[in-house]
């Protein structure tokens, strides 16, 4: 990609296809040279990715409604109850989430990752809007700013992350997962998840949403890697090389099933305790970050990252940290545009002649009167207790 300036057409499908690696020519190339198949694939991928955000964002609402109904009838999900398995609202939400994940997975086969992954941030907005309408869950202005920062930071990280390598066969994938770097990463992530499940979640799961989200996200990266492994196996099988006799295929399939079941359990606990508008953005951020890091370790793509991309990647991560801090630190603060200090001109404090605030003077005077009354009361009580 050369350094010549580009015009407003830099956001056309041509640029995104170039970033995916289908062309190594500058994005100023004539878009007319795109084949009809490329354009069709681009819009199919866009449609699948967009519909995925709608399905996933809506699924959180249905699952939350089911968990609320369960809480009014019996044991809550955060207390280890599994009554939600009998609730049709929860199953409706789970079906929408599965449908959304399948649509998102299929979108990567048609459109570049630089389009599909940032679009996933829309599910945060969909969930926040629907939760305020149907669940009556409100975010203060700082929480909304935190959501926006999380979405922006995740998008910056994705746009500056290296393009994922294509794995053509299970043999190549087998070599990659057996490399020491990925083995160490896998042990660290699985160990972190087990430690949080056994020691941290029972004590602190009800205090901070980060506990359950950390468990879901660390295991979620293995869910994505497992899905890609199963996808490679299916692709080879359809081309005449049966991979369902390969033990590695069943390892990937088992990892997907186990990780999804554990994720489902702890995500339900998080939704049962905390607002959907808080769970959704933090889960999206942690999940996306873990998937990107797993991809970097598995494919060693960080060696090919430029200084600009490394800097952008770190900046995106710091923006995410700021957003998460705002979401958690100020979630219980009653603040909005209406009660911001000095938000309206007619609410400014009146200034006295000596330059002080009349409101402050009245407050100080009231405190002095209260102190005088307390002292007087103590004095009379002392006189009563020691009569002459």
Cα diameter, the chain: 111
- In the prediction, which pLDDT does 165 show? 61
Q: How far apart are CA 301 and CA 310, in angstroms?
A: 11
User: Domain spans of the chain?
Assistant: 37-137, 166-303
- In the prediction, which pLDDT does 199 show? 94
Please count the other Cβ atoms lying within 10 Å of the Cβ belonging to residue 1. 12
Q: How far apart are CA 89 and CA 182, in angstroms?
A: 39
| 135 backbone dihedrals φ, ψ, rounded to 5° | -105, -5
3-state helix, strand, coil split of the chain in percent (to 5) is 75, 0, 25
Question: Position of tokens 């959907």?
Answer: 276
Cβ atoms of residues 280 and 57 within 8 Å:
yes
Q: How far apart are CA 224 and CA 339, in angstroms?
A: 44
Q: In the chain, what is the straight-line distance between the N-terminal and C-terminal CA atoms, in Å?
A: 100
The C-alpha R_g of the chain, in whole angstroms, comes to 27
- In the prediction, which pLDDT does 251 show? 92
DSSP code string of 222-291: HHHHHHHHHHHHHHHHHTT---TTSHHHHHHHHHHHHHHHHHHHHHHHHHHHS-HHHHHHHHHHHHHHHH
Angle at 215 between CA 301 and CA 128, to 5 degrees: 90
Cβ within 8 Å of residue 137, ≥6 positions away = 131, 275, 276, 277
pLDDT tens track, the chain, 388 positions: 444 444 444 445 554 444 444 433 333 334 445 677 768 877 887 888 889 889 988 998 898 888 888 777 766 666 666 777 788 888 898 889 888 877 877 776 676 655 676 677 777 778 877 887 888 777 788 878 888 887 788 778 777 776 656 677 888 888 989 999 899 999 999 999 999 999 999 999 988 889 999 999 999 888 878 877 887 888 788 888 888 899 999 999 999 899 988 998 898 888 888 888 788 888 888 887 888 788 888 877 667 778 888 888 888 888 888 887 787 677 667 777 777 665 444 444 554 445 444 454 455 555 555 555 555 555 455 444 444 4
Residues facing residue 351 across a β-bridge: 357
Token pair for 209: 């949403």
User: In 3D, which of 135, 117, 96 has the Cα closest to residue 271?
Assistant: 135
Q: Where does residue 369 rank: exposed (0-12), middle (13-18), buried (19+ CB within 10 A)?
A: exposed
Q: How far apart are CA 140 and CA 94, in angstroms?
A: 28
Cβ within 8 Å of residue 123, ≥6 positions away = 52, 53, 54, 56, 57, 100, 280, 284
Residues facing residue 357 across a β-bridge: 351
Cβ atoms of residues 23 and 29 within 8 Å:
yes
- In the prediction, which pLDDT does 215 show? 95
- In the prediction, which pLDDT does 129 show? 78
Q: How far apart are CA 230 and CA 242, in angstroms?
A: 12
């Amino acid at each position: 990609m050369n350094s010549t300036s580009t015009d407003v057409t830099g956001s056309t499908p041509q640029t995104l296809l170039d970033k995916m690696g289908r062309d190594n020519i500058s994005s100023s190339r004539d878009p007319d040279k795109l084949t009809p198949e490329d354009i069709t694939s681009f819009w199919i991928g866009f449609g699948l990715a967009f519909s995925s955000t709608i399905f996933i964002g809506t699924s959180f609402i249905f699952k939350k409604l089911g968990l609320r109904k369960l809480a009014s009838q019996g044991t809550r999900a955060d207390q280890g109850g599994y009554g939600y398995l009998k609730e049709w609202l929860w199953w409706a939400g789970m079906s929408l989430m599965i449908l959304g994940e399948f649509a998102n997975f299929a979108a990567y086969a048609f459109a570049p990752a630089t389009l599909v992954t940032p679009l996933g941030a829309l599910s945060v907005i969909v969930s926040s809007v629907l939760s305020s309408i149907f669940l009556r869950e409100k975010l203060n202005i700082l929480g909304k700013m935190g959501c926006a920062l999380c979405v922006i930071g995740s998008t910056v990280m994705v746009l500056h992350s290296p393009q994922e390598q294509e794995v053509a066969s299970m043999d190549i994938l087998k070599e990659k997962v057996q490399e020491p770097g990925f083995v160490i990463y896998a042990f660290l992530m699985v160990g972190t998840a087990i430690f949080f499940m056994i020691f941290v979640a029972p004590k602190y799961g009800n205090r901070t949403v980060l506990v359950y989200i950390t468990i879901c996200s660390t295991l979620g990266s293995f869910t994505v890697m497992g899905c890609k492994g199963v996808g490679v196996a299916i692709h080879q099988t359809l081309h005449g090389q049966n991979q369902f006799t390969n033990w590695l295929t069943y390892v990937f399939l088992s990892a997907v099933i186990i990780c999804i079941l554990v994720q489902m359990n702890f995500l339900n606990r998080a939704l049962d305790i905390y607002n959907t508008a808080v769970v959704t953005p933090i889960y999206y951020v942690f999940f996306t970050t873990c998937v990107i890091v797993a991809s970097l370790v598995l494919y060693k793509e960080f060696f090919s990252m430029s200084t600009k991309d490394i800097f952008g990647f770190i900046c995106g991560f710091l923006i995410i940290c700021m957003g998460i801090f705002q979401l958690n630190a100020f979630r219980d603060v009653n603040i909005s545009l209406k009660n911001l200090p000095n938000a309206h001109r007619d609410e400014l404090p009146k200034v006295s002649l000596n330059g002080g605030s009349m409101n402050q003077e009245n407050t100080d005077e009231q405190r002095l009167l209260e102190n005088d009354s307390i002292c007087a009361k103590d004095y009379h009580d002392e006189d009563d207790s020691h009569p002459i």
